[in-house]
Amino acid sequence: MSGPNHDASPEPLTGSSAATVQDAPPAGATVTPAVSPTTATSPSTSPSASATAGAAPRARLGGRWIDHWDPEDETFWHDGGKRIANRNLWISIFAEFLGFAVWGLWSIVVPQLADAGFAFTTDQLFWLIAAPSLVGATLRIPYTFAVPLIGGRNWTIVSALLLLVPTIALAWAVQRPDTSFGVMLLVAALAGFGGGNFASSMANISFFYPEREKGRALGLNAAGGNLGSAAVQLAVPIVITVGAGVSLERAGLMMIPFILLAAFLAWRCMDNLASAKSDPRSFGAATREKHTWVISFLYIGTFGSFIGYAGVFPLLLKGQFPEMALSIAFMGALVGSVTRPLGGILADRVGGARVTIVAYAAMALGAVGAIAALGSHSFWLFFGSFLWLFVATGVGNGSVYRMIPAVFQVSAGRATAGQDDAAVAAARTAARKAAAGCLGIAGSVGAFGGFLIPRGFAASTSATGSIVPALWTFIGVYAVMAVVCWAVYSRRGSVMGAAKV
């Protein structure tokens, strides 16, 4: 079997005994090989056949297309496939990191608007934080389908360059204190482009890795991306205060060189897979499964809480404890990001449902601590309670994501109990496709929590002048989610509970 083949032309490679990886060069340029994986020939597959096995020829944009990709073949994987997959992964993480950073820009810009001369109401400030999450959540499903349509490398370039729109618009808008709230809300909504990047990045990387290594790769991709929320909250307060006064436009301008770098790296080093095809039927199958909607509901409580709290935490700190430095707000998103892989690891050992239930209980406890801190005006109890909340959301993110393939495989096994091997194999294949669709739907639905939490705090503040009622509401929601998770996936005597999904 041949190693990974790159082709700069629409026609698949045939009859090649050694694969060559190359860019599509400009006219007149000399082509030089970038990678030449060792050829490995499978007893059942000729080099000519393997070169065309990945996908039928189709119109293509740009270069660096790989015609044949078979990571499940261990010889193929070790003879160059893994190296190419890892190269694409690390660039994807960087691009997704920037997507989350742009998505979270307004979380740290909004608390600074008063210092820059803007006079918005508290409700308007929460709207500016909520709008990017609303747009980002909505974009996640179409972003997922963009990868099979034009190629993962190509879409990474496009999606990275799209981040220039919200960053340049922000730099323009914040220099004018007379900018109307409507215009400012539109500019903030543009940051939602960054929220869509997660879905396309995860979809693209999932095509590169074998099933046995997919969990680790997607976990690194997700955690690396989430760190962008923390990084921007750390960097912006420093950058905008260098010199005299507050220069909010730097929050947008500082992102531009990194965005251009990400686009360049994607153009120069990433690859498109001809075999990466969309399967709309997987989304259709997922929408008909009750587990898709149950898990999406649960994911609102974990990832939705993470992105929602990450968005409002700087504003809450400034509103409740204005005497404290805003620069420490990044700690929340940081601990929530780095603990996400821990949730998957724990779920592998004891079951995702059990870990998720404990995560909800921990989140409720953190909210109770925040309420107690507000009553005593204790900054460190408030700060510590929110860090605890962020840790719990990170663990819950990892455990819910781990549940998805397990739940669909258990459902398939139950539906085919007593049937022949062919029926079981077909059901398991269908379950994998439905699980893939569920990942996309849950990722989109869960992100709407980033809109609901800021709006919940806004409603609470407008009605009572306090965020305490919102926190009590969130505690009630976490209790409901924990009960639903237990009843469907962990209850003793149930099929899911016995399987420890």
Give the length of the chain: 501
| Per-residue pLDDT at 61 | 64
> ∠ CA(408), CA(409), CA(410), 5° rounding?
90
**Structure token digits, residue 136:** 């980002």
| Per-residue pLDDT at 12 | 36
**Residue 286 pLDDT > 60, yes or no?**
yes
**Residue 16 pLDDT > 60, yes or no?**
no
| Per-residue pLDDT at 18 | 33
CA gap 68, 363 in Å, rounded: 46
CA gap 387, 367 in Å, rounded: 10
Exposed/middle/buried for 28, CB within 10 Å: 0-12, 13-18, 19+? exposed
| Per-residue pLDDT at 51 | 36
Confidence of residue 252 (pLDDT cuts 50, 70, 90): very high
364-382: pLDDT as tens digits: 999 999 999 999 999 999 9
**Residue 15 pLDDT > 60, yes or no?**
no
Q: Which domain holds residue 347?
A: 279-501
Over residues 198-205, mean pLDDT: 88
In a domain, 339, yes or no: yes
318-353: pLDDT as tens digits: 999 988 878 899 999 999 999 988 998 898 889 999
More confident residue, 384 or 327: 384
In a domain, 25, yes or no: no
Helices 352-376 and 379-415: crossing angle, nearest 10°? 160
Confidence of residue 59 (pLDDT cuts 50, 70, 90): low
In a domain, 179, yes or no: no
CA gap 290, 427 in Å, rounded: 17
**Residue 36 pLDDT > 50, yes or no?**
no
Beta bridge partners of 273: 66
Instruction: For residue 3, give the nearest of 43, 49, 46, 36 by alpha carbon.
Output: 36
Domain count, the chain: 1
Over residues 469-474, mean pLDDT: 98
In a domain, 444, yes or no: yes
**Structure token digits, residue 44:** 């059942």
**Residue 26 pLDDT > 60, yes or no?**
no
Question: The domain that contains 314 carries what CATH number?
Answer: 1.20.1250.20
**Residue 53 pLDDT > 60, yes or no?**
no
**Residue 21 pLDDT > 70, yes or no?**
no
| Per-residue pLDDT at 413 | 80
Most confident of 206-220, 381-395, 405-419: 381-395
HSE-up of 322 (CA within 13 Å, CB side)?
5
| Per-residue pLDDT at 284 | 84
| Per-residue pLDDT at 29 | 36
Beta bridge partners of 35: 21
Contacts of 343 (CB under 8 A, 6+ apart): 355, 359, 394, 395, 396, 397, 398, 399, 400, 401, 402
Over residues 226-253, mean pLDDT: 90
**Residue 393 pLDDT > 60, yes or no?**
yes
In a domain, 20, yes or no: no
More confident residue, 145 or 193: 193
Over residues 471-480, mean pLDDT: 98
65-68 and 5-7 beta bridge pairing: antiparallel
CA gap 377, 319 in Å, rounded: 12
> ∠ CA(326), CA(381), CA(394), 5° rounding?
75
**Structure token digits, residue 316:** 């809450």
Instruction: For residue 435, give the nearest of 302, 291, 303 by alpha carbon.
Output: 291
Cβ atoms of 96 and 224 within 8 Å: the answer is: yes
106-121: pLDDT as tens digits: 999 999 999 889 999 9
Q: Alpha carbon 97 to chain centroid distance?
A: 9
Cα-Cα-Cα-Cα dihedral sign, residues 141, 98, 366, 401: positive
Exposed/middle/buried for 280, CB within 10 Å: 0-12, 13-18, 19+? exposed
**Residue 487 pLDDT > 70, yes or no?**
yes
| Per-residue pLDDT at 37 | 38
CA gap 99, 121 in Å, rounded: 28
Cβ atoms of 394 and 222 within 8 Å: the answer is: no
In a domain, 228, yes or no: no
Instruction: For residue 7, give the nearest of 264, 275, 203, 279 by alpha carbon.
Output: 275
**Residue 1 pLDDT > 60, yes or no?**
no
The sheet with strand 65-68 has its strands ordered as 5-7, 65-68, 272-273
Confidence of residue 428 (pLDDT cuts 50, 70, 90): confident
pTM value surpassing 0.85: no
In a domain, 14, yes or no: no
Q: One-letter amino acid identity for 17?
A: S
Mean pLDDT of the chain: 85
Q: What is the DSSP string of 401-439?
A: HHHHHHHHHHHHHHHTTT--HHHHHHHHHHHHHHHHHHH
**Residue 31 pLDDT > 70, yes or no?**
no
**Residue 67 pLDDT > 70, yes or no?**
yes
Instruction: For residue 48, give the nearest of 8, 10, 78, 19 by alpha carbon.
Output: 19
More confident residue, 341 or 362: 362
More confident residue, 165 or 27: 165
In a domain, 362, yes or no: yes
